Structure 1
Amino acid sequence: MMKPLLLVVLACGLGGCQGLASYDPLGRDVGSPLPEACHWSAEGDAKARVRATANALEARGYRIVQTEVALGLVSAERSVAQPGLGAVDRSFWGRSGFWGRYGLGGRQGYSLGYFQRFGGDPVRLLRVSAVAAEGVVRVTRDSRVVDADGYLIDARPDNSAAFCAALHDDIDARMREESTS
């Protein structure tokens, strides 16, 4: 009598854990669409649009990574230092401090290690992609914060309606300027 009851309680308990899955802050929420301002109709010459998009992003401090006129693609990135975010507790095997890091561990026995690294604030990497496909321009942007050792601190989509609207206005202004000259 107790075994079937115990199995039912165990099954309900495990089912409840599955139903209460936590939100992954590093995962992309594919269910949420781009803001309305991040997609608009692609007008004008594709080559002129790619050039105007690249110039608009460069004016905002982005470095152009890749362009492809046939796809209407412009990819760009920008890095910004994030002083003060370097205090991340991520090392469970050792200690860190002002004078360096040390730790114990090893696969086939024990070892002792020490290293010193001076400086290096984390960096926020902003990546933007603009693609014109099927007569529509879509702009996506993501943000990642990485420390000097390459450890990922934060990553998330950063699709801001204000950013997209300002970029759209800048691209349109540059295309009008190019067509009148």
Structure 2
Amino acid sequence: MECEDDIINPDFNSYDNEETNYDEVRSPHKQLVNSGGIKMPVLVKKLGPSLTCPICLDLLRNTTVTECLHRFCADCIKNSIYKTNRQCPTCRRKIVSKRNLRSDPNIDLLIDTIWPDRNIYERIHNILMESTYESPTKIRDLTVENDDNVDDFSSSENDFPSNDEKEENDFFSSDNDELDDFE
């Protein structure tokens, strides 16, 4: 006796062997390789925001998840709950008790897989932060230097008349000769 599935869809098993238009058009994803030659299927840059604690802005340590599914370092969320009105720092949803917090060892494992040595991550992170903060500092320094130059220039003795003097000089200039001719 035949099974009902075979009657409804007799070609069910043959579908796996057929190539669809999607299969013909799609292209495989390129695998990324980090500097150590290890193939990285996912960009760490894209994972970064998901793997950082919104409180301390560092990689998650002993990841803890709230009922609203926001992730924090265990110490950060416990301190935050203690110091605030027992609210999630991200969405302000009420956290009834510390018992509602759950550890998330899978995220910790993922972080350990991507960054086996946290010291290397911290060094790279510090270098990036320093380079990020250098640019505004350099811009501010250049602006201050330019402001100093402008002040020095304006305080120096120069022959440029002020706007008031300029208007007076323009009034008594060659136009007066034309007025004399007009009379």
Instruction: Decide which structure has the larger Cα Rg and report it.
Output: 2
Same fold, TM-score > 0.5, yes or no: no
Q: Which is richer in helix? A: 2
Q: TM-score, normalised by structure 1?
A: 0.21
Q: Which is richer in strand? A: 1
Q: TM-score, normalised by structure 2?
A: 0.20
Higher-RCO chain (CA-CA 8 Å, sequence separation at least 6): 1
